[in-house]
A = this chain, B = another copy of it.
Amino acid sequence: MGQGVDRGSSALPLRNSRRSLLRLGAVVAGGAMLGKAERAAGETSPPGEPEWSQTIGAGVVDRPYGKPSEFEKDVIRRDVPWLTASKESSVSFTPLQSLNGIITPNGLFFERFHAGRVDVDPRQHRLLIHGLVERPLVLTMDDIMRFPSVSRIHFIECPANGGMEWREAQLNSLQFTHGMIGCAEWTGVALSTLLGEVGLKKEAKWVMVEGADAARMNRSLPLAKCLDDCLIVYGQNGEALRPEQGYPLRILVPGWEGNVSVKWLRRIKVGDAPWYSREETSKYTELMPDGKARGFTWVNEAKSVITFPCPEKPVAAPGLYEIRGLAWSGHGKIKQVDVSYDGGVNWQTAQLHEPILSKALTRFALPWRWGGKPALLQSRAIDDTGFVQPTIAQLRQVRGTNPIYHNNSIQTWQVKPDGSVFDVQLG
């Protein structure tokens, strides 16, 4: 269940020091540890030193492409076995409970496939740009990489993130309630540059993007968004895109629901109307209480979640902790995050960590002294448009209980007296 490794607990009894920040850690008693450490700085290894301090380790390029420590083997992407009929049209979740900062390492970035992960040969891959353009083009990867490059840090979130909790709290896991998100530094070409290269006809209003996988995943995008901030990307956190992220080429549509950032991108067609493709009609729409469906609900609105504590990372014992979490908005930057210890009755403003980037994950933190009583932890994001993250009750009031997508509601973590943490929804 994605607990990650238990890193051990305090080795020596705690002393109650008035000046201690956290009242943790073992105060060195009688100089015994000091003596041992002093010896360790010398030339000989005293008995009792750990093995790794007494032996020469592995040489360079033992792992030409590096891997995590074996002690981190439980920090992996995981799927929910009952969620989908097949593993090829499914999702694996980012282990947010074990991550720090705002960058999601490529090996842990969530996956969402419609016809499985394909391994595309970049030498054979082509991108066709056509439709209402002056000069249709077929580009190789070499061609694409010659255009002026742009790098930006953005999140990608599947709109189904939290979708299993529209009706009730049924997952007891941060990885599964919020793990369909990742944030990376993406590198590529501005779509506006490529559209400038082919020349838009004056009737141009919409753009269709299509993947090279067997699903031929395709979506319609308004031209204004394409010219604003969309990138055609080949790089992810410095290196080439990973196969599960669309290697060698995808579109990145910053702040919008993940599926429009089509992977294994092979075609861009310019038109004057949307295509109403399968994945924007039968899927990725939301049935409202009045029987109508919301469509083209692209933007992932302001959202946040507390990543510590959480079901996978309970509280060890009463004491001082740091509440940590992530906030993001598809509309721009995060302006403020509030935290509640009592299920939304009282709120305190958390500290936001730099850098605060548009359409990127933002870290927040707040000290929390836990006395051992039950608590209901919540976080609430506000973005720079003034949008305030809603409660699940507010969302249901407007959208009912049919939808799967765009659940950006406030998450409640219930902390029990033993420190265990549960996924709950308040009435």
Instruction: List the interface of chain A (C-beta within 8 A of B).
Output: 5-12, 15, 17, 19-22, 24-28, 33-34, 37, 40-41, 45, 50, 52-72, 75-79, 86-88, 90-92, 98-109, 111, 113, 115-126, 128, 130, 134-143, 145-153, 184-187, 193, 196-197, 199, 210, 212-214, 216, 218, 234-235, 237-240, 242-244, 247-248, 264, 266-267, 316, 319-322, 324, 353-355, 357, 363, 365, 367
What is the chain B residue whose CB lies nearest that of A84?
A: B60
29 A-B pairs with CB atoms under 8 Å apart are: A7-B140, A9-B142, A11-B138, A21-B147, A25-B138, A26-B140, A27-B138, A33-B136, A37-B266, A41-B216, A41-B218, A50-B212, A53-B212, A56-B116, A60-B87, A61-B76, A62-B87, A65-B75, A65-B108, A69-B240, A69-B243, A69-B247, A71-B121, A72-B239, A99-B239, A101-B185, A103-B185, A107-B107, A147-B322
A66 CB contacts on chain B under 8 angstroms:
77, 106-109, 242, 244
What is the chain B residue whose CB lies nearest that of A15?
A: B135
Given contacts A68-B242, A111-B60, A213-B52, contact A139 B218 (CB under 8 A): no
Given contacts A115-B56, A116-B59, contact A135 B19 (CB under 8 A): yes
A71 CB contacts on chain B under 8 angstroms:
119, 121-123, 247-248
Cβ 8 A contact of A52, one of B104, B138, B145, B212: B212
Given contacts A138-B33, A151-B353, contact A8 B237 (CB under 8 A): no
Contact B57–A118 (Cβ < 8 Å): yes
Contact A17–B56 (Cβ < 8 Å): no
Of all A-B residue pairs in the complex, the 3 with the closest CB atoms, nearest first, are A59-B87, A57-B116, A100-B235
A141 CB contacts on chain B under 8 angstroms:
7-8
How many copies of the polypeptide does the oligomer hold? 2
**A204, chain B: closest CB distance, angstroms:** 16
Given contacts A8-B141, A40-B216, A59-B88, 10 further A-B contacts (CB under 8 A): A7-B248, A19-B134, A26-B137, A50-B212, A60-B79, A66-B244, A102-B238, A105-B238, A149-B324, A152-B354
Cβ 8 A contact of A196, one of B21, B115, B128: B21
A140 CB contacts on chain B under 8 angstroms:
7-11, 25-26
What is the chain B residue whose CB lies nearest that of A75?
A: B239
Contact B117–A62 (Cβ < 8 Å): yes
**A45, chain B: closest CB distance, angstroms:** 8
**A98, chain B: closest CB distance, angstroms:** 7
Cβ 8 A contact of A146, one of B24, B69, B142: B24
A248 CB contacts on chain B under 8 angstroms:
7, 69, 71
**A343, chain B: closest CB distance, angstroms:** 24
Contact A143–B24 (Cβ < 8 Å): yes
Q: Give Cα A242 to B107, complex, Å.
A: 13
A128 CB contacts on chain B under 8 angstroms:
28, 33-34, 37
Given contacts A90-B59, A105-B238, A148-B365, contact A8 B214 (CB under 8 A): no
Given contacts A128-B37, A324-B149, contact A77 B62 (CB under 8 A): no
What is the chain B residue whose CB lies nearest that of A110?
A: B60
A115 CB contacts on chain B under 8 angstroms:
56-57
Cβ 8 A contact of A37, one of B119, B130, B367: B130
A150 CB contacts on chain B under 8 angstroms:
353
